[in-house]
């Protein structure tokens, strides 16, 4: 019976904490490995082990007593996951899936080999080699490994930008004229069942280049919606996925859908599923790892997600005041991550706003955003 299974998660951030929250509903106990003793999961997990998720020894030590292991970030030691799998620990997603995705080059080549539309890119060994490709600029340079939240990604406009480029193995992608950025969370279990959530639309603040609103369901037309869902399903099948996968995509000015990147774990673009869908992405992952059937992914509300970003010190208002003010707005669901300290620019939480119609959700989201701007992030 799965209730007795010992389950471990590599990574103790907010995604892990939300997984734990849903594990409680299933009567499950989750242990966590993270290098930060103040990680959001630290006080919620059934067993917290301090250690590096990229260290073979730390992952082995953590995993050896477990029945099931999963991840909440890609920066994990897959050699250890393979070794644990050989010892009988069930690993979700498969270590090979994580390996393919960890490296942006192998990820892209995998997608190309399966005829999935991607942004064309070439391999770059270092800054020196970049100089030989100046004819490709403007282009988008991405570190092959360990980039997240836009770190590890830079637009090179002219040859002058090369001096400040990463000096590490990277890929150089064609610059896309992006009309929309969308994401589909797809889940697949060991029985081969596949389910997708509705695509979500990410709207960026054009000035700050920060994610502004994440909208679900979104009005991108039936054709783009179908393309996005077909692509996500095809990728889940190609990977023989056991788990959940976020498929971030660009819709180009010519209405083409291109895959930007994959994340084989709970993802920011699935935050809205907690209050906006019949089954949250966290519950879905738990269903996969415990061998339950997949849950219904359909939307139950129009949802807008807003990230709560730590403001600059001199602009920061009183957190309690702002949360109280926002808590008065109907449809607002606060997710505060309980991080021990806020560095400017750090994600401190998010808010899901649910409503019966898209228009109502937008009105409430604007009200929430304005409350934020006046109380939390004063200009
Ligand atoms: P991360 O893994 O850090 O989230 P992404 O690959 O998603 O990095 O890139 C971050 C952002 O950079 C994207 O959301 C998009 O706005 C922009 N971007 C990425 N690739 C391209 C590209 N090829 N052309 C134009 N803009 C891009």
Q: Measure 171 CA to ligand 1 centroid, in angstroms.
A: 12
Q: Measure 148 CA to ligand 1 centroid, in angstroms.
A: 10
Predicted confidence at residue 321, as pLDDT, reads 92
User: Which residues are paired to 334 by β-bridges?
Assistant: 351
Q: For residue 204, which atom of ligand 1 is closest to its CA? A: 16
The domain that holds 156 is classified in CATH as 3.30.1490.20
Q: Measure 173 CA to ligand 1 centroid, in angstroms.
A: 10
* Residues 18, 305 contacting (CB under 8 angstroms): no
Cβ 75 under 6 angstroms from ligand 1: no
Rounded CA separation 91/102 (Å): 16
Q: Which of 73, 92, 111 is the last residue of a domain?
A: 92
Predicted confidence at residue 4, as pLDDT, reads 82
Considering the domain architecture, whether residues 345 and 368 belong to the same structural domain is answered as: yes
* Domain of 345, in residue numbers: 178-376
DSSP state of 293: P
Considering the domain architecture, whether residues 351 and 206 belong to the same structural domain is answered as: yes
Q: Which of 102, 170, 250, when mutated, tests ligand 1's pocket best, judged by the most ligand atoms within 8 Å of its CB?
A: 250
Predicted confidence at residue 208, as pLDDT, reads 60
Predicted confidence at residue 2, as pLDDT, reads 66
The answer to whether residue 223 is domain-embedded is: yes
How would you write the pLDDT of the chain (379 residues) with one tens digit per residue? 667 899 999 999 999 999 999 999 999 999 999 999 999 999 999 999 999 999 999 999 999 999 999 999 999 999 999 999 999 999 999 999 999 999 999 999 999 999 999 999 999 999 999 999 999 999 999 999 977 766 799 999 999 999 999 999 999 999 999 999 999 999 999 999 999 999 999 987 766 656 679 999 999 999 999 999 999 999 999 999 999 999 999 999 999 999 999 999 999 999 999 999 999 999 999 999 999 999 999 999 999 999 998 999 888 888 899 999 999 999 999 999 988 888 998 899 999 999 999 999 999 999 999 998 888 877 6
Cβ 119 under 6 angstroms from ligand 1: yes
Minimal CA–CA distance to 281: which of 259, 260, 303, 261?
Answer: 303
Total number of residues shown for the chain: 379
Rounded CA separation 322/319 (Å): 5
pLDDT digits over 80-108, tens only? 999 999 999 999 999 999 999 999 999 99
The answer to whether residue 112 is domain-embedded is: no
Predicted confidence at residue 117, as pLDDT, reads 98
The answer to whether residue 31 is domain-embedded is: yes
11 contact partners, CB below 8 Å, separation of at least 6 = 32, 33, 34, 53, 71, 72, 73, 75, 76
CA distances from 352 to 13, 87, 215, 302 (A): 19, 41, 10, 10
Q: Which of 151, 174, 197 is the last residue of a domain?
A: 174
β-pairing, 200-205 vs 194-196, is unpaired
Predicted confidence at residue 212, as pLDDT, reads 79
Considering the domain architecture, whether residues 36 and 144 belong to the same structural domain is answered as: no
Residues 186, 353, 11, 26, CA torsion sign: negative
Predicted confidence at residue 209, as pLDDT, reads 56
Cβ 283 under 6 angstroms from ligand 1: no
Look-up: residue for tokens 């050989």? 86
Cβ 260 under 6 angstroms from ligand 1: yes
Rounded CA separation 71/83 (Å): 16
CA distances from 369 to 272, 276, 347 (A): 17, 19, 15
Considering the domain architecture, whether residues 155 and 280 belong to the same structural domain is answered as: no
Total domain count, the chain? 3
Cβ 138 under 6 angstroms from ligand 1: no
Cβ 152 under 6 angstroms from ligand 1: yes
The domain that holds 201 is classified in CATH as 3.30.470.20
The answer to whether residue 99 is domain-embedded is: no
The domain that holds 82 is classified in CATH as 3.40.50.20
Instruction: Give rounded-to-5 percent helix, strand, coil for the chain.
Output: 35, 30, 35
Q: For residue 250, which atom of ligand 1 is closest to its CA? A: 15
Considering the domain architecture, whether residues 126 and 245 belong to the same structural domain is answered as: no
């Amino acid at each position: 019976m799965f209730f007795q299974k010992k389950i471990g998660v590599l990574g103790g951030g907010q995604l892990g904490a939300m997984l734990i929250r849903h594990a409680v509903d299933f009567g499950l106990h989750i242990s966590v490995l993270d290098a930060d003793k103040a990680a959001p999961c630290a006080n919620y997990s059934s067993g917290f082990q301090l250690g590096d998720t990229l260290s073979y020894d730390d992952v082995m030590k953590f995993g050896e007593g477990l029945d099931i292991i999963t991840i909440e970030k890609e920066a994990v030691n897959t050699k250890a996951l393979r070794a644990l799998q050989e010892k009988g620990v069930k690993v979700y997603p498969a270590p090979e899936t994580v390996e393919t995705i960890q490296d942006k080059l192998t990820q892209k080549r995998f997608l190309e080999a399966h005829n999935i539309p991607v942004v064309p890119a070439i391999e770059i060994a270092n800054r020196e080699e970049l100089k030989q490709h100046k004819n490709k600029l403007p282009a988008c340079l991405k570190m092959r490994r360990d980039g997240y939240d836009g770190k590890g990604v830079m637009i090179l406009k002219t040859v002058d930008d090369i001096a400040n480029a990463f000096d590490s193995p990277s890929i150089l992608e064609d610059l896309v004229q992006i009309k929309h950025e969308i994401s589909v969370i797809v889940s697949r279990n060991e029985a081969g069942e596949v389910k997708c959530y509705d695509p979500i639309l990410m709207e960026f603040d054009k000035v700050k280049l920060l994610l502004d609103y994440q909208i679900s369901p979104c009005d991108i037309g039936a054709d783009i919606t179908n393309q996005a869902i077909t692509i996500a399903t095809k990728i889940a099948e190609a990977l023989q996925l056991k788990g959940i996968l976020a498929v971030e995509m660009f819709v180009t000015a010519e209405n083409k859908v291109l895959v930007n990147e994959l994340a084989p774990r709970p993802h920011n673009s699935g935050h809205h599923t907690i209050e906006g869908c019949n089954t949250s992405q966290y519950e879905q992952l738990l269903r996969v790892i415990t061998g339950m059937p997949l849950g219904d992914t359909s939307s139950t509300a129009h949802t807008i997600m807003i990230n709560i970003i730590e403001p600059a010190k001199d602009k920061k208002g009183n957190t309690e005041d702002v949360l109280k003010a926002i808590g008065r707005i109907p449809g607002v669901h606060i997710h505060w991550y309980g991080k021990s300290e806020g560095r400017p620019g750090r994600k401190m939480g998010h808010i899901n706003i649910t409503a019966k119609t898209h228009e109502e959700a937008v009105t409430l989201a604007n009200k929430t955003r304005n409350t934020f701007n006046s109380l939390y992030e004063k200009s």
